[in-house]
Amino acid sequence: MSNHIMKLAQHIKVRQRVVATAITYMRRVYTRKSMVEFEPRLVAIACLYLASKAEESIVQARNLVFYSKRLYPDEYKYELKDILGMEMRVLEALDYYLVVFHPYRSLSEFLQDAALNDVNMNQFTWGIVNDTYKMDLILVHPPYRIALACIYIASVQREKDITAWLQDLNDDMNLVKNIAMEILDFYENYRTITDEKVSSAFSKLALKP
């Protein structure tokens, strides 16, 4: 469903921060509600719509309906009223708490402080941070520590020695490395998640009473 939100966001042209907020809302919802009770495809769209408002990058709900049907003509059967109705249910599930702190600000500051803010490192590290939203890290770890883990991975991949800089931060590097391992494990396992498996999972949901 994170991929679903990302793909839709590309068509309606919203900022990455809106995408990240939408995915965080969706993950928060499913810590409290079941996928049987809250249909994932509809929740994903409603969260993107809500996030666009929260991040002051508003999109028209009718555009979400249009592109959803265009991208998934055989799967998406919802109309405007369905999105608006689910938006209210999502708000209630979130207890109307819409604040989200992301790793992006810390990431920019850390890269500059570590003298790693060249274009190549910026793009590579931001890409890793974006990928973390396909996991539940944002619900579990402080955003700044997620940023550090992504920088740690990028520095190893690009052979940049930042050992001294990391030590000067006086943060628990074991925790940072554990997050980095979670991210690397995700990359390894993500390859096994095929479209067929996703479709099968949705079919099972649809059969639930």
Quick one: 46 and 121 in the same domain? no
Quick one: 88 and 23 in the same domain? yes
Quick one: 82 and 107 in the same domain? no
Quick one: 109 and 183 in the same domain? yes
Quick one: 3 and 83 in the same domain? yes
Rounded Cα distance between 85 and 80, Å, is 9
Quick one: 89 and 110 in the same domain? no
10 belongs to a structural domain: yes
61-82 burial, b at 16+ Cβ within 10 Å, e below that, comes to beebbebbeeeeeeebebeeeb
Instruction: Give per-residue pLDDT as tens, 18-70.
Output: 999 999 999 999 999 998 889 898 999 999 999 999 999 888 888 888 888 88
Rounded Cα distance between 194 and 190, Å, is 9
Overall number of domains in the chain: 2
Helix H or strand E encompassing 7: helix 2-12
Quick one: 135 and 47 in the same domain? no
Domain that holds residue 83: 1-94
5 belongs to a structural domain: yes
30 belongs to a structural domain: yes
Quick one: 153 and 83 in the same domain? no
pLDDT at 134 (0 to 100): 92
pLDDT at 208 (0 to 100): 53
- 70, two tokens: 């265009």
> Coil, strand, or helix at residue 61?
helix
Handedness of CA 116, 110, 127, 155 (dihedral sign): positive
pLDDT at 202 (0 to 100): 66
Look at the block and give the residue holding tokens 């997620």.
Answer: 146
Q: Which of 61, 94, 127 is the last residue of a domain?
A: 94
Q: Which amino acid is at 204?
A: K
Quick one: 130 and 42 in the same domain? no
State the CATH number of the domain containing residue 60.
Answer: 1.10.472.10
pLDDT truncated to tens, each residue of the chain (209 aa)?
888 899 888 888 889 999 999 999 999 999 999 988 898 989 999 999 999 999 998 888 888 888 888 887 777 788 899 999 999 999 999 999 999 999 999 999 999 999 988 888 999 999 999 999 999 999 999 999 999 999 999 999 999 999 999 989 989 999 999 999 999 999 888 777 777 777 777 666 655 54
160 belongs to a structural domain: yes
Rg (CA), the chain: 18
Quick one: 73 and 155 in the same domain? no
Residues 149/179, Cβ–Cβ less than 8 Å: yes
168-183 burial, b at 16+ Cβ within 10 Å, e below that, comes to eeeeebeebeebbebb
62 belongs to a structural domain: yes
Q: Which of 41, 68, 94 is the last residue of a domain?
A: 94
89 belongs to a structural domain: yes
* One-character DSSP codes across 68-129: HHHH-TTT----HHHHHHHHHHHHHHTTT------SHHHHHHHHHHTT--SHHHHHHHHHHH
69 belongs to a structural domain: yes
Quick one: 1 and 77 in the same domain? yes
